[in-house]
């Protein structure tokens, strides 16, 4: 999972600060039980992490291997999350990450900014 995060997220966050393997290991271990690993057969192709804030579902990250991106996996997951019965969805995305456009396309609205992260929310219909 480290190489996946390094390949997919670090190019964006490295503009603002220097990420490290140590930082990844600490965070991954700290909230390991919240992560769901995506498999195709026995091959790990990504993972996602969810959190909960009262009545809100917090999407803490979706990481899909570049070899499996643009295959609607992210859209499928986002649609699945909406079937879980939450009244609102929240997420943060780095301001320079192209995923920002993906979330906007899915109906997420910018509600704020914290440091270099865009705070987004969606209330499902």
Three-state secondary structure call for residue 26:
helix
What pLDDT shows up at residue 9?
A: 87
The answer for residues whose C-beta is within 8 angstroms of residue 74's C-beta and 6 or more apart is 62, 64, 99, 102
Mean pLDDT by 10 residues, the chain (125 residues): 84 86 84 88 94 91 93 95 94 95 96 96 91
Cα 60 to Cα 12, 51, 105: the distances in Å are 16, 7, 18
Structural domains in the chain, sorted by start:
2-122 (3.40.630.30)
What is the pTM assigned to this prediction?
Answer: 0.85
Beta bridge partners of residue 20, listed in sequence order: none
């Amino acid at each position: 999972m480290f190489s996946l995060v390094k390949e997919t997220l670090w190019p964006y966050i490295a503009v603002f600060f220097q990420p490290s393997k140590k930082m990844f290991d600490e965070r991954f271990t700290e909230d390991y039980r919240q992560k769901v690993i995506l498999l195709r057969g026995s091959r790990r192709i990504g993972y996602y992490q969810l959190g909960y804030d009262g009545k809100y579902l917090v999407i803490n990250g979706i990481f899909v291997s570049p070899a499996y991106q643009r295959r609607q996996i992210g859209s499928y997951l986002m649609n699945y999350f909406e079937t879980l019965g939450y009244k609102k969805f929240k997420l943060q995305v780095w301001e320079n990450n192209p995923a920002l456009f993906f979330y906007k396309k899915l109906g997420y609205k910018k509600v704020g900014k914290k440091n270099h992260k865009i705070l987004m929310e969606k209330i499902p219909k």
